[in-house]
Amino acid sequence: MVRRLKIGITCYPTLGGSGVVATELGKLLAEKGHEIHFITHSMPFRLGQFHKNIFYHEVEVNDYYVFRYPPYDLSLASKMAQVAKMQKLDLLHVHYAVPHAICAHLAKEMIGDGLRTVTTLHGTDITVLAQDETLKDLIRLAINRSDAVTAVSNDLIKETRELLEIDREIDLTYNFVDKRVYYPRDCASLKCDFVGKDEKILMHISNFRPVKRVGDVVDVFAKVSAEVPSRLLLVGEGPDLPKVQHKIRELGLEDRVHFLGKQDDVAHVISIADLMLLPSEKESFGLVALEAMACGVPTIGSFAGGIPELVAHGETGYLSPIGDTEDMAANAIRLLQDERLYRQFREACIYRAHTQFCNDLITAEYERIYYRVLGIEAEIPLPVCE
């Protein structure tokens, strides 16, 4: 019988793809009998109901007057060491190189080499922070001192190696969806709240940062709605929201665009969409496109980062050069006007998401990594996802 592990998980617990993946992974590992300890500054928003194998440890920052800024990093490292020692953790799995992997390294230094560390790179820690020369050496140290490093796309692995001149092994572990949660829902009544008969719904979900190019979303929708009766649903909040609202007013689209703000029950929201728009200029993976795919919603997106590894161009969606809103709109119109083609894409989306990116498959990959760094011989059967 394979030994059950005691695993500490640290992530950004608020809204964001990395926090979602880390929390969902912890829940899945707990279901398999592992003991999971979340070590974060607040309760992960996706943690949900009580589970006997899941524990939460809050990181409290001491605001001593001698510090100009509260020392969160040091408090986190100290908490990691404390929990690891008291709970006899086998390993720490941290999401993002800075500050979490650095804190895990400090915790390991405090309590000894018996503790192992696994770092998952999600994107911004490489695509943004590693561009800063003042942080580059710190990020390189965090990666090189981890017992194992994973990344969510081949594109991110490539960029990590090029930016940081790293030649160590990096495991590819794609993000995943829990197929018990993400599947096509019957949301006809909810859909009727937004559209009339024969109207289509285009959707965009993000944190409305410049890298998401939400202005392109509006441009694509303007072109599509001129040909196909449709509405645009914008989900999320962020710094570019005022610019987007201004652009919508300029184009006279106010009555056809709905702002839904942040939403927790993403599976239900996505299920009312006909297309997901993801024209990002940088996207290490594109979790929202995977969630849409699992719900049977094709993506119209860009050839950016890891998106082409996720969205099969011409099968589960269409991809265009970054900023080419003409091509994106033409692809969207083609899908929305051809019912037979749309059904093919919809079926391909569900199959691809539920087989190649299913929760059972990716969870097993992480388990193999854990046992490997611990030097434990363990046969983890390859799940068959359908």
Amino acid, res. 318: Y
Tell me: do 15 and 160 sit in the same domain. yes
167 and 193 in a single domain? The answer is: no
67 and 143 co-located in one domain: yes
Q: Would you say residue 382 lies in a domain?
A: no
Q: Does 305 share its domain with 369? A: no
- The string of pLDDT tens digits covering residues 92-106 is 999 988 889 999 999
Q: Which domain holds residue 248?
A: 188-356
Per-residue pLDDT, averaged over 76-89, amounts to 96
Residue 182 belongs to some domain of the structure? no
Is 131 a residue whose pLDDT tops 70?
no
Residues 345 and 367 in one domain: no
Enter the tokens of residue 317.
């969606």
Are 12 and 151 members of one domain? yes
Looking at the fold, whether 335 and 368 belong to one and the same domain comes out as no
In a domain, 142, yes or no: yes
pLDDT at 15: 59
Task: Give 12 or 17, the one with higher predicted confidence.
Answer: 12
Would the pLDDT of 56 be above 70? yes
* Burial category of 168 from C-beta neighbours within 10 Å (exposed 0-12, middle 13-18, buried 19 and up): exposed
**pLDDT digits 0-9 by tens, 308-338:** 999 999 999 999 999 999 999 999 999 999 9
CA distance to 26, 44, 86, per residue, from 53 (Å): 10, 15, 16
Q: Is residue 33 part of a domain?
A: yes
Residue 195 belongs to a domain: yes
Residue 339 and residue 317 share a domain: yes
Note whether 51 and 161 are same-domain residues: yes
**Are the C-beta atoms of 127 and 281 separated by less than 8 Å?**
no
- Cα 296 to Cα 251: distance, rounded to the nearest angstrom: 30
Which residue's entry shows tokens 């990691």? 80
Q: What is the pTM of this model?
A: 0.92
CA distance 369 to 150: 9
Q: Which residues contact 260 (CB under 8 A, 6 or more apart)?
A: 233, 234, 235, 269
Q: How far is CA 225 from CA 104, 167, 230, 251, 338, in A?
A: 50, 48, 5, 12, 16
Instruction: Assess whether pLDDT exceeds 80 at residue 255.
Output: yes
Residue 385 lies in a domain: no
Phi-psi region of 376 (alpha: psi -120 to 50; beta: other; left: phi over 0): beta
Q: Is 72 a member of any domain?
A: yes
pLDDT number for residue 83: 97
Number of domains within the chain: 2
Q: Exposed e or buried b for every residue in 276-308, given b needs 16+ CB within 10 A?
A: bbbbbebbbbbbbbbbbbbbbbbbbbbebbbbb
Q: Buried b vs exposed e over 236-257: b needs ≥16 C-beta within 10 Å?
A: bebebbeebeebbeeeebeebb
Q: What is the pLDDT of residues 139-164, one digit of tens each?
A: 899 999 999 999 999 999 999 998 88
Residue 294 sits in a domain of what CATH number? 3.40.50.2000
Mean pLDDT of the chain: 91
